[in-house]
Structure 1
Amino acid sequence: MATGTEGALNPVMAFALVGALGVGAQWLAWRLRLPAIVLMLVAGLVVGPGLGVFDPSRDIGDLMSPIIAIAVAIILFEGGLTLNVRSLADAAPGVLRLVILGAPLGWLFSALALHYAAGLGWAASAVFGGILIVTGPTVIAPLLRQARLARRPAQLLQWEAIVNDAVGALAAVLAFEVVIVLNSNVSPGAAAGDMAFGILLALGLGLLSGWGLSSAFRRALVAEYMKVPVLFAVVLLTFALSDAVLHESGLLAVTVMGVFIANADLPSYDEIRRFKEHATILLVSGVFILLAADMDIDTLRTLDWRALGFVLAAILLARPLTVLVSLAFSPVPWRERLLVAFTGPRGVVLVAVAGLFGERLTELGFEDGARIAPLAFVLVAATVVLHGFTMVPFARWLGLTGAEKPGVILVGGSSFATGLAEALHKADVPVLLADPNRSRLRSARDAGLPTFYGDILSEAAEHSVELVSYGSVVAATDNDAYNTLVATDLAPEFGREHVYQLKRARQESRRHALPASLGGRAIGGGHGYLDLTRMMTEGWRFRTTKLTEEFPIEAWRKAAPDAVPLAVIGPNGTPRLVSDENGLRAGAGSRVVALVPPGETATPAG
């Protein structure tokens, strides 16, 4: 296990440890409902400076910096892939303000905090202040997944994090070039020319790569199974070429490339994006473990009370002032402004870029450059822990999260779907009934149920339906193929375990049968659309029955042997749909929603 250095891990074991810790922390966070970023940070600190088991600089060596650089480039590219301009809708004015006004204001306020609170010189403050523009998509993405924010504040945070990541890196480059000009014989004209050329090259490479890939994919010049590998190769090439001309400009190039592809309307775009989302989760986990494990305790001990003052100033003054001034007199509601103002977690880009420029400033003779890396890490740790634990309750207090109880979307306005929606609605479960046929929604509207007139898979639904308020989907139309399409398309959004559809009609010929790998879980007690419609016509009705210690699930089943259980509402009001595969499980205090035939009550006798 050891290599030439006593106690060192060989690179293979080191990478295996990083993968196990990163994915393990994500899984444990999901099980315990804790912020994943916090657990990854703790895991890295424990195995690194805590126990001394893993030292990335020792065990990985010179590969450490390029690994982090490539990982950050892929993360930013994947973030760019999520930035579809059409999805902005009413969030566009806020995003523009946060980028155009917020970036320079954030640079200014952060530099002031660094100089007056942390005690850094103006040179180090200007360079580090530019880096502090970034808020970190590596941290925002997991937080948004956990918080289930409403659409507009989520878009504001996501767009700002991804776009300003590239802007912040370039701001640091600009400030560093100014420092070089003031402390060397380099002429201002030459430095400005190099900077402008590097930025223009980054923009050009990003646009050219995005256009070239989009054209090749659309014209079928790349085989389907080769699209993701080609994508990865072009991302790395674009990043490397741009970065070779101007340091950190590669981040801008890959972000522009991702945004271009996101808005190119590629037919296989969803598959590409989902694969890269999975890769990004692995990369975010790995990079966080690496950076946390690489921290030096002796370096952290050099930080004094001024470091605490800087962290407080950055969180409570610089960030809120930047956002509130940028969004002043904008159409963004004040609640959303407050949430964005007090949500500014920093991530791996900040630590990676800060370490690089800290070393360069030290080489130029600025001794306070050595304090940049530990200050960056302390700020990242503080914001990750703070926002990891406070963002959800703060957003909930402001009324900007999805419903406390995850609701149910029912697709199809049949009598069965309307009846189930009405039963869930009466049990205080949020519901939405969707159908592209307005007449089929008439009964639901008469019953006072929330409805969406249109295709649930349409762009209009994406813009007008707050999906974060719902935790499950039931595809219950009379078209098996469409039900399967809805379940398959929405499975990545809700999780495959929360997507259901009615039993498919049996096909006599295999050539007409849909693959079993597509679609969602079966619901309806083995009954298809025609059976359930017939049962409703014959007088079957939905009943909600509360289970107690005296009337457990076994007694309920005896009281209503023919009833079709469809949902269980837990004591806390959270619904769980009953699939045909898993059967019915419910304890005392739960309520069972079932379709009951005439003559059966599904209630305790007597």
Structure 2
Amino acid sequence: MNLSLLFEIMLIGLLGIGSQWVAWRYRMPAIVVMSVTGLIIGPIFGWINPQEDFGDLYNPIISVAVAIILFEGSLNLRFKELSDLGKPVFRISTIGAFIAWILGSLTAHYIAGLSWAVAFVIGGLFIVTGPTVIMPLLRQSKLKPRPAKILKWEGIIVDPIGALLAVFAFEIIAFLTSDNPSGEKLLIFFAASVFAAIFGWACGKGIGYVFERGYIPEFLKSPAVFIVVILCFTIPDEIVHETGLLSVTAMGLTLANMGISSVIEMRHFKENMSILLISAIFIMLTASLQMETLLQIFSPNIIGYVLLMMFAVRPLSIFLSTIGTNLTLNEKLLVGWIAPRGIVALTVSSYFAGILLEAGYEDATLLTTLTFGLVFFTVLAHGFTIGPLAKKLHLSMEGRPGTLIVGSNRFTVEFAKTLMKAETPVIIVDSSWRKLRLAREAGIPFYHGEMLSEQTEYHLDTMPYDYLIAASDDPFYNSLICTTFMPEYGRTNVFKLSPYDQMNINSTGEIVPKVAGRVLFKEEVTMTGLNDMLRRGFVFRHTAITEQFRFKHYVKEKDNDTIFLYLIKPSGQIKYFTEDLKVAPEVGDIIVSITPPTKEQAKIQAKIEQTKNGKK
């Protein structure tokens, strides 16, 4: 099919984001959907072949995209996260990587039938996992913080190490097989690696310095960082291939740990860019494969190699390297299983396939097949099993979507009780120990700290909570909370109580209601009003919607002062009633409301009368 290059770019972007949406909608691993989509439009139906169609631009596009993705991932690596995980992360990234290299090389030689030279190159390359495959899996699986942090740190740190190990192995092979062996190339390689790390650190420090001094305006900060990332990757990579990955990782780590607010603010933008690039690159790489490569994957030696890498090499490297650490057996089992390979393995292996073939190693023709076989099978296996395995090992936060409430007062405590009654995770956060007294006495889970503080980010586990409600006494603070956490929770999952004060409606009416967060319940329902209702004896009610008692009947019978708070679906999902997000209760739903005491008293009286009549 002859498509214009412009149409092909549009198609790749559309299918990439479409695959992400399908994966989100049907709770499937995104990398699996993207890989299958690429295979369908590429080798299976032959609609596009990006490698041929893009020509000389193909490799630079992939390389720059990988650099940006790796930088974005390393921008999330802050050393404070390693307060109790430094030792296992260091062991896995060094000793574990070395063990995986040796065992993987032996497996490639004896099982896949590769020569020693090619086996050691591919063995070094296959220790990588990387943010392109790990981040989508972590986003999907909702792991507990410890195993999630280990997999994230390993994926980002080992990514450049694996590429450099492959280069190192090739340089050693070239040195040993040369007619006139010289250590010059090896020295250049080591010098280039050190230069790449220092250059990345300098780029990070430099961009941080100009940000802190205000030498770059806000609207230019994101473009400036992207250009510096490309600069940071390109210069070392031009000296020695793949050292650019080390450089951008060093740059990201440096910036992440400088504590610059501007960098933290642009992180969500970079995450969005990373998702777009990952989607496009997976489609491009899989669509560029040949049908012969796909068929060759199912040969016995390739399948045997892949199985040993998954079930022997990876678990052994993790268990041996983490001896003496504080990792539990379940954590070792999970980390020892999850190691999907991704973009870096595919791109770097194609580079080495050409280099090794030129050097006379004919078995290097198997590299692309072997790489894609490992990538595809690990993506499938780990993508579909990480969730169930994490649940089985009790390392998953999967469960009913919880609610995080900012602000402790009488209403939020009583409101949290209704959520606990519905077996829904809930926590109240407040910086005032005095205000938290109500939560403590009621047995509500709480966190004492400032929600906007950096320390809270490290000490408060927000994974179980899909919704955030800002319900402090200060409407301006509530809006600030919503604005800050909207990118993390999503626009439809961040709420605030109405800022309108019935006694002074004009004071905040023009500003606060327009800033972030959906207004819960109704605009006229304020914090003052809700606390006043509780003082007047209003009660919380759980009302089931049935075939006999549908929502329209409930609306007809309810008291005019009744306020609908939220409904609980049979699946456990919560839907909050808001002014601008209409909720349509269905049969099987439970509506939680706050009602006048007269309604409850009438209900109790009716039960008493019914009991008396029954006795008569």
TM over 0.5: yes
Of the three residues 490, 499, 502, the one matched with 1:504 is 499
**Per-residue deviation, 1:592:** 1.0
Partner of 2:562: 563
Q: TM-score, normalised by structure 1?
A: 0.96
Q: Deviations over 1:466-507 (max 9, x none)?
A: 211111111100011111121121222221111110011367
Give 3-state SS (helix, strand or coil) of 1:467's partner: coil
Q: Does 1:447 align with 2:442?
A: yes
Q: What amino acid does structure 2 have at the position aligned with 1:559?
A: E
Does 1:271 find its partner at 2:265?
yes
- The answer on whether the counterparts of 1:559 and 1:603 sit within 8 Å (CA) in structure 2 is no
CA deviations 1:147-201 (Å, max 9, x no partner) are 1111111100000000100100100010010111122246342122111111111
Of 521, 529, 532 in structure 2, the residue corresponding to residue 531 of structure 1 is 529
Structure 1 residues 465-504: aligned runs within 5 Å:
465-504=460-499
Q: Which residue of 2 aligns with 1:102?
A: 96
The separation in 1 between residues aligned to 2:473 and 2:590, in whole angstroms, is 28
Counting matched residue pairs gives 600
Whole-angstrom CA distance in 1 between matches of 2:23 and 2:390:
20
Instruction: Name the counterpart of 1:291.
Output: 285
When residues 267 and 186 of structure 1 are mapped into structure 2, their CA distance, relative to the original with a 3 A threshold, is farther
**Do the aligned partners of residues 413 and 510 (structure 1) sit closer, same or farther apart at CA in structure 2, a change above 3 Å counting?**
closer
Residues 457 and 399 (structure 1 numbering): CA distance in 2 closer, same or farther, change over 3 Å?
farther
Aligned equivalents of 2:258 and 2:187: distance in 1? 32
Match in the other structure for 2:169: 175
Please give the alpha-carbon distance, in whole angstroms, between the structure 2 residues aligned to 1:297 and 1:447.
64
Deviations 1:283-329 (A, max 9, x none): 10111001100111113333420000001001001111111111112
Mapped to 1, the partners of 2:54 and 2:398 lie a distance apart of 45
Verify the 8 A CA contact 2:346 2:372 in the aligned structure 1: yes
1:59 pairs with 50, 53, 65, which one? 53
SS at match of 1:548: coil
- Asked if 1:208 is matched to 2:205, the reply is no
8 Å CA contact 1:483, 1:519 repeated in 2:
no
Separation in structure 2 between the aligned mates of residue 481 and residue 113 of structure 1, nearest angstrom: 61
Counterpart secondary structure, 1:592: strand
- Rounded to whole Å, the distance in 1 between the matches of 2:238 and 2:129 is 25
SS class of match (2:594): strand
**Residue by residue, what CA displacement relative to the aligned partner does 1:244-263 show, whole Å, maximum 9, x if unpaired?**
11100000000100110111
- State the SS of the aligned residue for 1:566: strand
Structure 1 segment 508-527 matched on structure 2, within 5 A = 513-514=510-511, 518-526=515-523, 527=525
State the alpha-carbon separation in 2 of the partners of residues 373 and 584 from structure 1. Answer: 51
Q: Structure 1, residues 402-460: CA drift from partner, whole Å, max 9, x if none?
A: 14111111111111100110011011111111111112222222222111111223233
Deviates more, 1:61-70 or 1:298-307: 298-307
1:148 matched to which residue of 2? 142
1:102-501 alignment, distance < 5 Å: 102-185=96-179, 187-303=181-297, 304-501=299-496
Kept after mapping to 2: 8 A contact 1:402/1:468? yes
Per-residue deviation, residues 9-41 of structure 1 (Å, max 9, x unmatched): 222112111101101111111112211111110
- Deviation of 1:603 after TM superposition, in Å, equals 7.1
Distance (Å, rounded) in 2 between the aligned partners of 1:54 and 1:336: 42
Relative to structure 1, the CA distance from residue 517 to residue 374 in structure 2 (aligned partners, 3 Å threshold; closer, same or farther) is farther
SS in 2 for 1:43: helix
Q: Which amino acid aligns with 1:569?
A: I
SS at match of 1:331: coil
* Structure 2 counterpart SS, 1:118: coil
Q: Over residues 525-561 of structure 1, what are the superposed CA-to-partner deviations in whole Å (9 max), with x where a residue is unaligned?
A: 3211111121221111212122211111122223323
Residue identity opposite 2:584 in structure 1: R
Q: 1:302 to 1:388 in 2, by over 3 A?
A: closer
Q: CA deviation at 1:509?
A: 6.5
Q: Deviations over 1:78-127 (max 9, x none)?
A: 01101011123222222111112111111111111111221111101100
> Contact conserved, 1:144 with 1:154, CA < 8 A, in 2?
yes
What CA RMSD, in Å, does the superposition of the two structures yield over aligned residues? 1.8
Name the structure 2 match of 1:4.
none
CA distance in 2, matches of 1:416, 1:439: 16
Displacement of 1:514 in angstroms is 3.3
Q: Name the residue aligned to 2:613.
A: none
Amino acid at match of 2:591: V
Structure 1 partner of 2:612: none
| Range that drifts further, 304-313 or 487-496 | 487-496
Partner of 1:545: 543
Q: Would you say the 8 A contact 1:544–1:592 is kept in 2?
A: yes
Partner letter of residue 563 of structure 1?
T
Give 1:515 shift. 5.8
Q: Percent identity?
A: 39
Kept in 2, the 8 Å contact 1:8–1:58? The answer is no
Q: CA deviation at 1:580?
A: 2.0
Amino acid at match of 2:40: V
Q: Give yes or no for contact 2:498–2:513 (8 Å, CA) kept in 1.
A: no
Distance 2:26 2:245 in 1: 34
Query: What is the alpha-carbon distance in structure 2 between the residues aligned to residue 327 and residue 520 of structure 1?
Result: 44
Contiguous gaps of at least 5 residues in structure 2: 608-616
Q: 1:511 to 1:188 in 2, by over 3 A?
A: farther
Structure 1 gaps of 5+ residues are: 1-6
Report the AA paired with residue 360 of structure 2.
Answer: G
Amino acid at match of 1:165: D
Whole-angstrom distance in 1 between the partners of 2:357 and 2:499: 68
Q: 2:404, 2:426 within 8 Å by CA — same for their partners in 1?
A: yes
Contact persistence 2:491–2:517 (CA under 8 A): yes
Partner of 1:36: 30
Instruction: Report the more deviating stretch, 7-16 or 128-137.
Output: 7-16
User: TM-score normalized by structure 2?
Assistant: 0.94
Partner of 1:88, secondary structure, is helix
2:549 is the alignment partner of 1:554 = no
Q: Separation in 2 of the partners of 1:65 and 1:550?
A: 64
Q: Is the 8 A contact 1:403 1:470 kept in 2?
A: no
